[in-house]
Chain A
């Protein structure tokens, strides 16, 4: 049963602390996306990778956020230092970047982050 796996599912942390979220994309998928979802903004694209190379992280606050793919089975999103306004659900999604039909993005269950 192929699925995108995210850890942790929930995280509560104090302002100023470092937060690391992890994602295991579906085996064989070559694109990975990080989204942030809030009630007000919906799903915002933060960063995405193709074949582990970062393509576009313009949606990410660069001073505190960083995204990496150390290998094909792991993507990480780090916030340092965290702030209360970072509280949101962070979704990872993976897909196949070949431009063909039905190449939808598959989402993980998300990490619900609360910064107090």
Chain B
């Protein structure tokens, strides 16, 4: 089966660093995505990992370990506008070669002044 776990809620202070973890189980792993979703808005793409290691993109970095079924999103120099939900998603490849995106329930991050 497919399963994605991430913490429900996290709180951090402006200017700090926060790490949001995600563990997954899937039969046809073909990439891990992180999305940001502000309240009342659509999810927007943040990062993508398909190989093990760290991908850095400005203040955001994402890490993947395929053998452990584990990823994290690292947010540095937190700003108030980073208060949002962060969704971990796995792209799963079926035996017929088609792809779909399976999402975790999201981690709601609150950034405090």
Residues of A near any B CB (own CB < 8 A): 31, 33, 35, 41-43, 45, 48, 50, 55-56, 91, 93, 95, 97, 99, 101-110
Distance from A50 Cβ to chain B, minimum over Cβ atoms (Å): 6
B residues 91-113 with Cβ under 8 Å of A? 91, 93-94, 98-106
Count of interface residues, chain B, beta-carbon cutoff 8 Å: 24
Residues in chain B near residue A109, CB distance under 8 A: 41-42
If A43-B87, A99-B93 touch, whether A105 touches B101 (CB-CB below 8 Å) is yes
The total of interchain contacts (Cβ-Cβ below 8 angstroms) comes to 57
Most buried by B among A31, A41, A56, A103: A103
Q: Are A56 and B100 touching (Cβ within 8 A)?
A: yes
Residues in chain A near residue B74, CB distance under 8 A: none
Residues in chain B near residue A102, CB distance under 8 A: 48
If A99-B30, A104-B33, A106-B45 touch, whether A45 touches B101 (CB-CB below 8 Å) is yes
Residues in chain A near residue B89, CB distance under 8 A: 105
If A42-B106, A99-B30, A99-B93 touch, whether A108 touches B42 (CB-CB below 8 Å) is yes
Among all A-B residue pairs, the 10 with the closest Cβ atoms:
A42-B105, A43-B103, A107-B42, A104-B45, A107-B43, A105-B101, A109-B42, A55-B98, A97-B99, A48-B100
